């Protein structure tokens, strides 16, 4: 029994499970952008498909990195042999195929095409993220597409009448690119640039809130206070000597659910906003037990 539990924990670590709830909150916001009466079956199927894409992508990332990790980080799960390479590869492919099957079988052509772009972006990022710094764009696209897939599935592919999911997809893509850029600019000479980007991120997010229909400025500001406080913690982490980049990166990625909760609050979808907050708290809780980044 102990061996089974240990094996399960290893695969949960391989999957970067603590950050999975940030995908669920993305599905909630993508859904809320197009309907106030969601179909829960559709929502749960999308959440399951996105979860499989996320887990498969994370596992494939480690599979691709094995040749480098054998030299630089031999204690990781695959180089050390804790999880056999072939098992991890099969696990990754099974998850990616499973997510694709759910989308193709249950949803429209538009949603399937969006999922194809997501799958392609995941694979390309995993294959080339060590060679090309510009692949941060692909990581951002992966995240932004979750909004579009959730919205498309909920309205059976009819996204042309509502531009909000596209706007938010662009926002999340730029957000991921921004925090990835900060993580890559680790040289001391780039410290000022890192600080500027870190300060600009919450300002841009809260300014974006005015794109929502009939949102009062007082709600934008009041709801944005927790966001500013959370991003301030991340900002302080990169300002330390030496900079705590990994810690800051976790705060920013975990903060995705906080961003979703904020916009759901402004949309007056209080139940979804609460669920997104629970996703945020779940990420914090699981990060105490498992490796998140």
Domain boundaries, position 87 = 2-287
Say if 293 falls within a structural domain: no
Give per-residue pLDDT as tens, 165-184: 999 999 999 999 999 888 87
**Does residue 159 contact residue 148 with C-beta atoms inside 8 Å?**
yes
Domains of the chain: total: 1
Give per-residue pLDDT as tens, 134-147: 788 999 999 999 99
| Structure confidence at residue 188 as a pLDDT band (50, 70, 90) | low
Q: Which pLDDT score, from 0 to 100, does residue 41 have?
A: 97
Mean pLDDT, residues 220-237: 91
Say if 126 falls within a structural domain: yes
Q: C-alpha angle with apex 242: 238 to 248, nearest 5 degrees?
A: 25
Say if 279 falls within a structural domain: yes
Tokens matching residue 54: 């996320």
Q: Which pLDDT score, from 0 to 100, does residue 1 have?
A: 64
**Does residue 109 contact residue 153 with C-beta atoms inside 8 Å?**
no
Q: Which pLDDT score, from 0 to 100, does residue 2 have?
A: 63
Residue 162, CA distances (Å) to 14, 57, 204 in order: 37, 29, 22
Say if 60 falls within a structural domain: yes
| pTM (two decimals) | 0.95
Using CB atoms within 10 A of its CB, is residue 94 exposed (0-12), middle (13-18) or buried (19+)?
middle
Q: Which of 251, 262, 254 is nearest to 279 (CA)?
A: 254
Residue 112 sits in a domain whose CATH number is 1.10.357.140
Is the model's pLDDT at 130 over the cut of 90? no
The residue assigned the tokens 């919205």 is 151
DSSP state of 33: T
Residue 269, CA distances (Å) to 28, 29, 36, 178, 289 in order: 10, 9, 8, 28, 31
Say if 249 falls within a structural domain: yes
Say if 292 falls within a structural domain: no
Is the model's pLDDT at 240 over the cut of 90? no
Reduced to 3 states (helix: H, G, I; strand: E, B; else coil), residue 230 is: helix
């Amino acid at each position: 029994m102990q061996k089974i539990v240990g094996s399960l924990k290893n695969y949960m670590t391989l999957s970067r499970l603590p950050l999975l709830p940030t995908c669920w909150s993305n599905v909630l916001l993508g859904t809320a952008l197009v309907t106030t009466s969601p179909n829960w079956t559709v929502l749960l199927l999308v959440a399951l498909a996105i979860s499989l894409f996320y887990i498969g992508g994370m596992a494939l990332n480690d599979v691709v990195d094995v040749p480098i990790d054998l030299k630089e980080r031999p204690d990781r799960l695959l180089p050390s042999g804790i999880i056999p390479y072939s098992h991890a590869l099969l696990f990754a492919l099974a998850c990616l195929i499973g997510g694709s099957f759910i989308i193709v079988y249950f949803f429209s052509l538009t949603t399937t095409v969006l999922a194809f772009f997501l799958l392609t972006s995941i694979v390309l990022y995993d294959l080339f993220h060590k060679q090309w710094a510009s692949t941060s764009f692909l990581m951002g696209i992966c995240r932004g597409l979750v909004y579009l897939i959730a919205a498309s599935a909920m309205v059976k592919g009819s996204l042309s009448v509502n531009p909000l999911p596209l706007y938010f997809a662009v926002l999340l893509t730029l957000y991921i690119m921004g925090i990835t850029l900060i993580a890559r600019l680790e040289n001391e000479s780039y410290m000022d640039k890192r600080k500027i980007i870190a300060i600009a991120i919450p300002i841009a997010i809260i300014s974006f809130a005015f794109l929502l229909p009939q949102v009062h400025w007082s709600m934008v500001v009041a709801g944005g206070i927790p966001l500013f406080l959370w991003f301030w913690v991340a900002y302080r982490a990169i300002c330390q000597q030496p900079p705590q980049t990994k810690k800051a990166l976790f705060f920013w990625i975990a903060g995705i659910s906080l961003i979703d909760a904020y916009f759901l609050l402004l949309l007056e979808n209080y139940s979804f906003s609460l669920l997104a907050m629970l996703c945020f708290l779940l990420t914090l809780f699981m990060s105490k037990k498992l490796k998140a980044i």
